[in-house]
Amino acid sequence: MNYLIEIGEKARTAATALNKMGQSDKNKALMKIAEILKENAAEILKENEIDIKAAEENNVKASLIDRLRLTKERITDMADGLIQIAGLKDPVGEVVSMETRPNGLQIGQKRVPLGVIGIIYESRPNVTVDAFGLCFKTGNAVILRGGSDAIYSNKMIVKYIREALAAVSVPEDAVQLLEDTSRETAREFMRLNQYVDVLIPRGGAGLIQTVVQNSTIPVIETGTGNCHVFVDESADFQMALNIIDNAKTQRMGVCNACESLVIHSKIAEDFIPLLAKRLFAKNVEIRSDEVGKSICSDFVSASEEDWGTEYLDAILSLKVVDSIQEAIAHINRYNTKHSETIVTKDYDNSLKFLNEIDAAAVYVNASTRFTDGFEFGFGAEIGISTQKLHARGPMGLLALTTTKYIIFGNGQIR
C-alpha cells in the first residue's frame, strides 16, 4: 500500500502545480512531448516488440495483438493527437456564472481541474498518450493503470512524456504509470480516495464492471452500447435502410454501432424484405422474433438474451412492435442508455421518442454512429459516459473539469 500512497502524494503535489499553470505553458509542454515521442519512436517500438512477442507466445488473438501493436505511423498519430489537443480551447478558469446576492456577496462559479484522475485501461498503448494529453490539458495529474500486456510499451512512452515535461520545467509527476500491474494493486488503487478524485475505466464491459463494483472513488462509467434503430410506420424506407446499414456496418466493433432493430408492424411486410436484401449483402445475421421470421425465413430465431446483447459483430436482433409506445418500452428495457434513433416522418412520434427514451443520445433520422466527441464538435474525447452523474454522452475536455464557487465579500456575516 505504501507504493500507492507514494504515487498518490506525488500526484497531489503535481496537481497543485498544474492548477497554477496557464494555457500557453500547458500547450508548450504538449508540443514538446509530441516532438520527443516522434524523435524516440524507434526506442518505443523496440519495447513494444517485447509486448508483442509475449502476446504471441501466449497465443493472444490476432485482433488484440493488432490493438497492442505500435508502428512508426501510429506513434506519429499519437504525437499529432497531442498537437491537436494543444490547439483546443482550455476550459479551465472560465467563470461560468457570477451573481450579486441581496447582501452584496458576489458569488461566481469557476471551472477548475478535477485534481487527480485515475485511468484504468486495457492493452492499447495509444490510450496512454491520449488520456494523459486530455487530463494534462485540463490541469489534472493522471495516474495510469494500463494492462500488463502493454507494460513495456507503456513504461517507455511514459518515460519520454516525463522527460519532455522535465525539459520544459513541468513536474514529471503530472503523469505516473502503475508499473505493478497486479490485480491486488489495481483493487487497492480503486480505493485510494484520499488521493484520487475520479476514476475513468476505458475498455470492455468486464473491465468497466470490475471498476464499478470495486471502486470507492467516484467513477465515470464509460459505456457499452446496445443501440437501437426504430423504424416507425411513417419512415422513409430508403433513409431507414441507409441509417441501419451505416449504424450496423460502417464499423462493427464500436459502442455506438446499432445492435438491434425495432420495426413497426404496419410496415413490416414491405420493409423487412428490403432490409434483408440490404444486410444479407453485407453478411449480417439477423436474429428476429417470430413475426419477423414469418416475413423472412432466412432470419434466425432471437432468444430473450438477444434483446440485451451488444454483439460488436455482424449480428443484429430484430423485433416487430405494434406501436411507438411498445417500441419505447422495449428499448428502455433492454438498452444500455447509450444511443437510440427513430426513423420517422411523424412530428408527434419524433418528440415522443426524444422525450421518453432514456439514453445519453437520442436521435431522429440519423445514424447512432454520430455519438462521438469529434462528431459532436468537442475536438477530443476521453470516453462516452452512459451514467447520469457529472457527464452524460461523449466527454470532451469539459468533463475533465469541475467548478468551485468563488465568493467576493466585504465583511458579510449571517
> Is residue 236 a contact point for a copy of itself (CB under 8 A)?
yes
The residues in 11-70 that bind a copy of itself, with binding defined as CB under 8 A, are 16, 19-20
> Is residue 409 a contact point for a copy of itself (CB under 8 A)?
yes
> Is residue 348 a contact point for a copy of itself (CB under 8 A)?
no
> Is residue 210 a contact point for a copy of itself (CB under 8 A)?
no
> Is residue 252 a contact point for a copy of itself (CB under 8 A)?
no
The binding track of 290-329 with respect to a copy of itself, each residue x by CB under 8 A or -, is ----------------------------------------
Q: Using DSSP bridges, classify how beta strands 227-231 and 339-343 pair: parallel, antiparallel or unpaired.
A: parallel
The answer to whether 70 and 153 are in contact (CB under 8 A) is yes
> Is residue 278 a contact point for a copy of itself (CB under 8 A)?
no
Q: Is 66 helix (H, G, I), strand (E, B) or coil?
A: helix
What are the Cα distances from residue 36, in Å, to 30, 84, 244, 260, 320?
10, 16, 43, 45, 56
Q: Using DSSP bridges, classify how beta strands 383-385 and 393-395 pair: parallel, antiparallel or unpaired.
A: antiparallel
Buried b (16+ CB within 10 A) or exposed e, 26-61: bbbbbbbbbebbbebbeebbebbeebbebbeeeebe
Grid coordinates given for 288: 428476429
Distance CA 13, CA 35 (A): 26
> Is residue 413 a contact point for a copy of itself (CB under 8 A)?
yes
Amino acid type, 281: A
Q: Which helix (H) or strand (E) holds 126?
A: helix 126-137
The backbone torsions φ and ψ at residue 208, rounded to the nearest 5 degrees and listed phi first, read -65, -45
Q: Which is nearer to a copy of itself, 89 or 404 (CB)?
A: 404
- From 45-53, 67-75, 120-128, 217-225, give the range in contact with a copy of itself by CB under 8 A: 217-225
Q: Which of 31, 60, 362, 379 lies at the binding interface for a copy of itself (CB under 8 A)?
A: 362
The residues in 63-122 that bind a copy of itself, with binding defined as CB under 8 A, are 99, 101, 105, 107, 114-115
| Smallest gap from residue 220 Cβ to a copy of itself (A) | 7
Q: Which is nearer to a copy of itself, 87 or 104 (CB)?
A: 104
> Is residue 332 a contact point for a copy of itself (CB under 8 A)?
yes
Q: Which is nearer to a copy of itself, 127 or 220 (CB)?
A: 220
Distance CA 260, CA 280 (A): 15
Cross-sheet strand order for the sheet of 116-121: 175-177, 141-145, 116-121, 198-202
> Is residue 6 a contact point for a copy of itself (CB under 8 A)?
no
Distance CA 238, CA 229 (A): 14
Give the position of cell 452512459: 386
Q: Which is nearer to a copy of itself, 145 or 338 (CB)?
A: 338
> Is residue 402 a contact point for a copy of itself (CB under 8 A)?
yes
- From 48-56, 81-89, 153-161, 369-377, give the range in contact with a copy of itself by CB under 8 A: 369-377
The backbone torsions φ and ψ at residue 317, rounded to the nearest 5 degrees and listed phi first, read -95, 155
What single string gives the DSSP state of each residue in 27-55? HHHHHHHHHHHHHTHHHHHHHHHHHHHHH
Q: Which of 81, 171, 393, 396 lies at the binding interface for a copy of itself (CB under 8 A)?
A: 393
- From 26-34, 43-51, 69-77, 212-220, give the range in contact with a copy of itself by CB under 8 A: 212-220
- From 58-66, 79-87, 294-302, 403-411, give the range in contact with a copy of itself by CB under 8 A: 403-411
The answer to whether 113 and 139 are in contact (CB under 8 A) is yes
Residues making contact with a copy of itself (CB under 8 A):
16, 19-20, 99, 101, 105, 107, 114-115, 193, 197-198, 212-213, 216, 218-221, 236, 239, 242-243, 245-247, 250, 332, 354-356, 358-367, 369-371, 375-377, 387-390, 392-393, 402-414
